[in-house]
A and B are shown apart, each in its own frame.
Chain A
């Protein structure tokens, strides 16, 4: 099970991307509109005002010059004429490319022409003639034509702006509504995603807990099975020394009835009884290791060879009885120490030795070899038997839980998978050596830290 809800997650991401894109576009559009407003529309309206004002100043100046013959008005006219021409050209520039600009071209050419004549007459003090042209319908028409054009431009610009504004308002309203809906959608979808993630995490942790419990049960079941399998061998191991103790006790009592036993004879028999009872004690010790749950034990430094040899008290009998040769050779690695949970490590070793035994007990050539190899900070514990290797079609499966090639009732299929997981907990690996001519399992593990520091193999 995955924590992340795939479909819901993707939908949420898509919604978020679309909303971000729409909002970015709308913001950009609004920015562009405001930019146009600042650079074109507002200056245009301002210009209209300036043009109208200067146009009035021009006509008024001429009328006053005509009626008062004051030359100052002529001067005023000339000054304002340049400002007006300037404003008109600026206005024309702003107007180009604007919607609604296809209105009549703003021109005051006719009015300027007539005004030039009037100005010449005024300068020549021909006031009557100048006043006549000033009041002539030609001049009035020319001025009015210009004024109508500027008014129509002004109206057009305002109308166009109103339209754009109206449109802009509608779009903005639509965007706002969309944004609000999208935000609600985003909040809802992400809340759902987060809730699902939390629920999934909870489910997963419950599942993990269940799996761990199952694993623990499986480990216990596997140990019980191993114990059951070994019970026969152990009973043999224990009953034989018991029979010896029993027999010597009998012998002591019979011989003491018939003869005066010397101290030497008594001592010899007592030693035999003591040694034999120690044989039993070792078996019990081995069993105690096998049956305990060592998964929570602390790691401790132990002598590899000792751990391996301790397990032989449990398995030795069945090897002997079935004529399977058990060969252990640590050579130069007799003093090798490893850091491990000893109970768990013993369980792995017993499991591996038992597997090897089961694999070869029916063969003509029956042997199991155990030896260690030095790899610097690591060492390899090799467990090889006289079998001919693991067939490729089984190899992939043997580390899987519940896989077994043994007969019903003889294997739980948990041994190897659990052994592999315990080795992993010890920072090691459990693998098959494919290059070996026989069946060889290799447990690669780190040496004890003090071992590494001292460089002793």
Chain B
């Protein structure tokens, strides 16, 4: 098994998902992207991921639902919410089991720094 950290990026905004993938790949992560919660959950079930970065509001399964489904499997990867609006707040996100919560427009470097620090913790 390779040492590369696998990240699942979920955002219905295609360009954003692409951008996140680009920056994460730049940092050496292996990235798979999806545009909705339902599809992302199917991908998660079929492949191993250490990190999940997900939007909150999306058609066909939102981010909160995705986290709950993953938790229901007995897993808890490093989970990060990025949201365009106050759909949930930080404490709610943490209570759900998310590592952190980022507002759009997110500074992707901050997100990467947080992921890296959580991975080494």
Contact = CB atoms under 8 A, between A and B. Distances in A.
B23 A254 contact: yes
B104 A239 contact: yes
Given A232-B86, A239-B105, A272 B15 contact: yes
A323 B16 contact: no
A235 B16 contact: no
Interface in B15-69: 15-16, 19-20, 22-23, 26, 57-60, 62
Interface stretch (A32-40, A241-249, A444-452): A241-249
Given A235-B85, A242-B104, A247 B16 contact: yes
A240 interface: yes
B107 interface: yes
B12 A320 contact: yes
B59 A322 contact: yes
A76 B113 CA distance: 160
A236 interface: yes
A240 B104 contact: yes
B16 A240 contact: yes
A246 B104 CA distance: 9
Given A235-B84, A248-B19, A272-B15, A243 B59 contact: no
Contacts, number: 71
Nearest to B61: A323
B84 A243 contact: yes
A322 B59 CA distance: 6
Contacts of A238: 84
A251 interface: yes
B118 interface: no
B84 A236 contact: yes
Interface residues of B, number: 26
A138 B12 CA distance: 149
A236 B15 contact: no
A259 to B, nearest CB: 12
Interface string A199-243: 000000000000000000000000000000000110111111011
B104 A243 contact: yes
B84 A251 contact: no
A321 interface: yes
A242 B86 CA distance: 16
Contacts of A246: 105-108
Interface of B is mostly: loop
Q: Which of A238, A248, A250, A272 has the most CB of B within 10 A?
A: A250
B108 A321 contact: no
The binding surface of chain A is classed by DSSP as helix
Given A239-B105, A243-B84, A250 B12 contact: no
A12 to B, nearest CB: 67
Given A245-B105, A246-B106, A250-B109, A320 B59 contact: yes
A409 to B, nearest CB: 16
A276 interface: yes
A240 B106 contact: no
A321 B37 CA distance: 11
A236 B55 CA distance: 11
B20 A240 contact: no
A296 B52 CA distance: 53
Contact of B15 (A235, A239, A244, A323): A244
B94 interface: no
A216 B60 CA distance: 41
B103 interface: yes
A318 to B, nearest CB: 9
A238 B108 CA distance: 17
B13 interface: yes
A107 to B, nearest CB: 127
Nearest to A231: B85
A247 B25 CA distance: 14
13 contacts: A233-B85, A236-B85, A239-B84, A240-B16, A243-B84, A243-B106, A244-B15, A246-B105, A247-B16, A247-B19, A321-B12, A321-B59, A321-B62
Interface of B: 12-13, 15-16, 19-20, 22-23, 26, 57-60, 62, 82, 84-87, 103-109
